[in-house]
Chain A
Amino acid sequence: MKIKQIDRDGVVVLQLDGKIMGGPDATAINDKLHELVEAGKTNIVADLAGVNWMNSSGLGILISGLTTIRNAGGDFRLAAVTDRIRSLLMITKLLTVFETFETTEEAIQSFS
C-alpha cells in the first residue's frame, strides 16, 4: 500500500493505493495520522479510489484511524470508495460509523 498526502483548504487528503491488509500498512497509516495530529491537522479525508482489496485487518486500520482523529477533535472521512470496499463497509455496518462521500472534492467541502 502507498500513501500520498495532499493538503487542501485546511484538509489533509490521504490517497491510499493498493491493498490494505494490516501489518506494515497499519504502522504506515497509524504513524502518518499521529504525525498529522501532532501538527494540529485533524480534518482528514482518506481517498480510497485506488484501494482494490481490504480484509478485516484493513477495516481495523480504518476504525483505529477514526478513533485517533476523533479523539484529537477532528474527523476521518472516506471518499471515492470502490464498490468492493463499499460492500465490505456495508456488511460490517461501518457505513453507519464513517462519513463517506462520492468524491474527494465533496469530502473536502464537507469540512467547510
Chain B
Amino acid sequence: MKSKSKQEYKLRIPSQTDNLELIRGFIGKVAEKVGFNEDEVGKIELACDEACTNVIKHAYADKDTDKALDIVIKIDYQKFTVIVTDHGRGFDPKSIKMPDLNEYLAELKVGGLGIYLMRTLMDKVDYNIQPGVRNQVKMVKYFINKENADLVKSEKEV
C-alpha cells in the first residue's frame, strides 16, 4: 500500500442535538484508535461536543436541523486535529473571550463554560469565520508521548 502522508476521517451529519452522541462516538473511536487513553478520549469528545453544540444552538439557532455539520479529523505524527464546519450564522472570533472562571464562580453564572472547556481540554482552538461562506473551528490535541506518535507513524508506513 502506498504510504499516506496523513490520515483523514470525515463525517457529514444533520445539525441536530440528538446526533451529538453519534458525533462523540465517531470522534471517540478515532481518538481511541490512535492511542489516546480513556481520560484523553473523554476530553476530546467533550471539547468536540461543545463545539458542535455551539453550531447547533448558535450558528443554526436550533432551527436549521436539515443543515449539515461537517466533521473532519486529521492525524499526523504529532497531532490530532478536529475541524467542525458549518454554513450558518457567523460571528466575530475576537468577541470570544476566555471566561474569567473566578467571576463565574463568584456569581454562579450559567452558560459560557463551553468555550472555557474547549480551550482547556484541547491544546489549541482556532476559528476561521467567513460570513456567508462557512465557519470553522479547529481544535488540536498533540500526542503527549512518543508511543502515540510512533503508532501513527507506523500505520502511515504500512
Contacts and interface: CB of A to CB of B under 8 A. Distances in A.
Interface of A: 21-23, 55-57, 59-60, 63-64, 66-67, 84, 87-88, 91-94, 96-97
Interface stretch (B110-118, B126-134, B135-143): B110-118
Given A22-B53, A57-B53, 8 more contacts: A21-B17, A55-B46, A59-B113, A63-B110, A84-B42, A91-B117, A93-B105, A96-B105
Contacts of A96: 105
- Report whether over half of chain A's contact residues are helix, strand or loop; otherwise say mixed: helix
A92 B110 contact: no
A56 B39 CA distance: 17
26 contacts: A21-B17, A21-B20, A22-B53, A55-B46, A55-B50, A55-B114, A55-B117, A56-B50, A56-B112, A56-B114, A56-B117, A57-B53, A57-B114, A60-B110, A60-B113, A63-B108, A63-B109, A64-B110, A84-B42, A87-B39, A87-B42, A88-B117, A91-B117, A93-B105, A94-B105, A97-B108
